[in-house]
Amino acid sequence: MKAAVSGGGINGVMTAWAFARRGDSVDLYKKGQLMSATSPASTRMLHGGLR
């Protein structure tokens, strides 16, 4: 399967990674630098959920 993922935040990157890990072809589209607009609040929420 060929997939296109829009957005380079944590959700977009992990979705693209999951497709690639299954052996699918993935195109990741991001305006600007990868993960440049990820907020500190979302990072704290992610780490808080992993404890």
Q: pLDDT, tens digit, for every residue of 1-51?
A: 899 998 877 888 889 999 999 999 999 888 776 666 655 555 555 555 544
40 vs 18: CA distance, rounded Å: 24
- Distance of CA 43 to CAs 10, 26, 28, 35, Å? 9, 25, 21, 11
Spell out the long-range contacts of 6-9 with Cβ–Cβ below 8 A and sequence spacing 24 or more. 6/30, 8/33, 8/34, 8/35, 8/36, 9/35, 9/37, 9/38, 9/42
pLDDT score of 51: 46
pLDDT score of 10: 82
The domain of 32 spans: 2-50
Task: Please report the beta strands in 1-51, taking only residues with DSSP state E, as ranges in sequence order.
Answer: 2-6, 25-29
Count of the separate structural domains present in the chain: 1
pLDDT score of 19: 94
